[in-house]
A and B are shown apart, each in its own frame.
Chain A
């Protein structure tokens, strides 16, 4: 592992952990953060969340990371990983972590 990769892992790990903890708290999910695989489908299949939950996720991302998910962009909400990708890309575009 290069130092860059290790640093990236630390950053991603922190975002994933923060998002999972907030998701569990807001949606009252019966899981621990370690139980939530980052690729699990959030809406429909997998966790089976509904449209109200989706709105809660959008608000959660905004309040945790200061990142606004565009309206109608359902592709971002497919899994924890796709949300984390969006957070990282947006933070990078803004010029760093927040």
Chain B
């Protein structure tokens, strides 16, 4: 099992850890509600070192990625990132990826449902070694800064330039003479940044950032709270609906795919399913009453008939309701309908438009930063 370079430090700060697909992750530090409010109201700092990360020289990167990931890497401009996925031959999602076109290299960041050995095998089969692919996962740390005020900390670290970075961009900075790759990303709907730093400064940088975060009354978060944050923002979560559904078309991830590409892993299976047409579709759901809770695998009923199944759910503090995602037959997969949960006479459930919440960060203007 791969362990983060921050293991000792985070354990000392009260981390509860678990094994997720062969990588030790911090699931939480404190109450989930506390961590949730760090992000929604101020800043949460999360160790995202579970993500597999690779570097590949610019000269060979486009050809390598073009047949590996589903998206159009070739159209990713300098300094920008592509959000896409890696599938297996059956067209089932294995990894949710960002590909960053960064200076003289491309960086691949993966959240996957396969362990490091299986991912290394995929890269090996794909000719990674010959193309100069370097696995950075064990030698770097990846920190995620998320929240309404997350920009304040990166501005403090790297200057006001960071405020102009658009979503899905990458930039290099220096800290203690070491290179830090800063990715403007995030899946919480609030401001989000990923910082990749080498081993030599991993702990010092983390302590520094945490001190800044705490100045703003933020704190450390585990990965569990990110399930709620992602769902509220309707960001794809490979660890929730991703692993339970698998099919990128049912998941509504067609926007991550370049259908004009001649080859990528799983392309034929995905194209075949696309041509047959969708019979199922994932859509948002919300309980009618605050006291009604739903769980993964709960059935959804219309009159006497079971029509859908819940694949992701959380309690949204903002909405004071359970929200989630369920897979419905495509012909009735529309927002604004009412069904019942668990049985024909169960609690009422509404299908809803996603994302269901309006994040505070969207109300902030550049001249207010």
Contact = CB atoms under 8 A, between A and B. Distances in A.
A12 B166 CA distance: 33
Contacts, number: 82
Interface of B: 83, 166-168, 234-235, 252-255, 258-260, 274, 277-278, 281-284, 302-303, 331-332, 334-338, 353-355, 358, 362
Contacts of A84: 335, 353
Nearest to B332: A9
A79 interface: yes
> In which size bucket is the chain A interface?
20 to 34
A36 B254 contact: yes
A9 B334 contact: yes
A70 interface: no
Interface of A: 1, 5, 8-9, 12-13, 16, 30-31, 34-41, 44-48, 74-75, 78-79, 81-82, 84-85, 88
Given A5-B337, A37-B252, A39-B284, A45 B83 contact: yes
B65 to A, nearest CB: 18
A5 B259 CA distance: 34
Nearest to A78: B355
Contacts of A36: 254-255
A16 B354 CA distance: 14
Given A37-B281, A39-B283, A45-B235, A79 B332 contact: no
Nearest to A83: B353
9 contacts: A9-B337, A35-B254, A35-B274, A37-B255, A39-B252, A39-B284, A75-B362, A81-B354, A88-B336
A44 B167 contact: yes
A31 B260 CA distance: 10
A1 B252 contact: no
Contact of A79 (B274, B338, B355): B355
A45 B353 contact: no
B334 A75 contact: no
Among B277, B302, B336, find the residue whose CB has the most chain A CB atoms closer than 10 A: B336
B353 A85 contact: yes
A38 B353 contact: yes
A54 B162 CA distance: 24
Contact of B353 (A9, A47, A81): A81
Nearest to B251: A37
